[in-house]
Structure 1
Amino acid sequence: MPGLPRRPRPLDEIDSLLLDLLQADADQTLRALGERVGLSPSAVQRRIAGYKAAGVLRTVAVVDTGAAPALAQALVLLTLAEESPDHHRRIVERLRARPAVQQCYAVSGRWDYAVLLTARSVRELRDLSHELFQRDDNIRRYDTLFVFETVKSGTGVPGELLRG
């Protein structure tokens, strides 16, 4: 059907390397990428277009948090009081709607979600946590862990893990 992403072809070693290179720096020229993976610029362009059409790759700009004059971050672990699909849907929708929620993971074990919040100050984080978590009757417990130092941060997925 037109308009639907096509099913991606199985990825090979060149795809893995190319995806690693793009995740490290998507501004590289097609020629530079081609030299690194042993393909012509037009072949690299076709592969990138294929990744995008299949939904394997999208291009975004990533801002280095170290460039911000002052940021405060916290990891919030939370447990819901009721485990119904409706309660999970509501909290997920609320978290997705907030730009200050940088990342959110449904997790196993004692907690239901791990949420990374970013704000201008610890006070702003406190207010945000209060608004998001304390006012919700369906949150049984939440613990806020303030981030002192980012040891490693990223969104890249090693290309080799994408191969079938």
Structure 2
Amino acid sequence: MEIDRIDRRILVELQKNNRIPNQRLAELIGLSPPACLKRVKRLRSEGVIVGDVSIINPDLTGNKMTMVVSVEMERDRGDIYQIFRRSILNAAEVTQCYQISGSYDFMLIVTVKDIQAYENFVERVLRKDLNIRKFHSSVSMRTVKYSTVVNLDES
């Protein structure tokens, strides 16, 4: 799918506020409301916009600890990776998981209320997987930047 300059402008605005009324969005973009709505529907139907979420302040939910966990698998095999990915998809504490290159195979972002909850996660998910060679945990001391915005610069 081609994303033109107008689509990019729509996406920039929707990333700021996906609850913006179509009338206001159309004004900002410089389109008629029906043309704007048609473009937004197309962006959704073609999978450019994959979901609408509310971003919650983790401090207010009790999840005050963020751990960055590097995982090294025992062997470099697709079936082992697939089993691990499936277990991570079922672990609610994991908010992000990246399969990476380098010394480790996966990088996890784990959000929990305290160290006991993290220990429970480790025992339930990581220590039960016999294909994990080792993992390294780091405690995030401060969130410097957190964003869900995708850069849409054309450069």
TM above 0.5, yes or no, is: yes
Q: 1:69 to 1:95 in 2, by over 3 A?
A: closer
Cα RMSD of the aligned pairs, angstroms, is 1.7
Instruction: Say if 1:72 and 1:120, in contact at 8 Å, map to a contact too.
Output: yes
Secondary structure class of the residue paired with 2:153 = helix
The whole-number CA distance in structure 2 between the counterparts of 1:64 and 1:37 is 30
Secondary structure class of the residue paired with 1:159 = coil
Q: 1:130 to 1:25 in 2, by over 3 A?
A: same
The whole-number CA distance in structure 2 between the counterparts of 1:100 and 1:151 is 20
Instruction: Say if 2:22 and 2:37, in contact at 8 Å, map to a contact too.
Output: yes
Within 5 A, what are the aligned runs for 1:29-44?
29-44=21-36
Per the normalisation by structure 2, the TM-score is 0.91
Provide, for residues 21-49 of structure 1, a one-character-per-residue CA deviation record: whole Å limited to 9, x for no partner: 10111011112211211112211111110
**Partner residue, 2:17:** 25
Instruction: Say if 2:72 and 2:134, in contact at 8 Å, map to a contact too.
Output: yes
1:62 CA displacement: 2.1
**Partner residue, 2:93:** 100
| Structure 2 gaps, min length 5 | none
Q: 1:11 to 1:151 in 2, by over 3 A?
A: same
Instruction: Say if 1:78 and 1:114, in contact at 8 Å, map to a contact too.
Output: yes
How many residue pairs get aligned? The number is: 154
Instruction: Say if 1:16 and 1:158, in contact at 8 Å, map to a contact too.
Output: no
Per the normalisation by structure 1, the TM-score is 0.87
| Structure 1 gaps, min length 5 | 1-7
Secondary structure class of the residue paired with 1:33 = helix
Matched, 1:153 2:146: yes
1:15 CA displacement: 1.0
Letter paired with 2:4:
D
**Partner residue, 2:129:** 136
Provide, for residues 56-106 of structure 1, a one-character-per-residue CA deviation record: whole Å limited to 9, x for no partner: 102222223243345211010000001111100000000011111100000
The whole-number CA distance in structure 2 between the counterparts of 1:160 and 1:98 is 34
Secondary structure class of the residue paired with 2:48 = coil
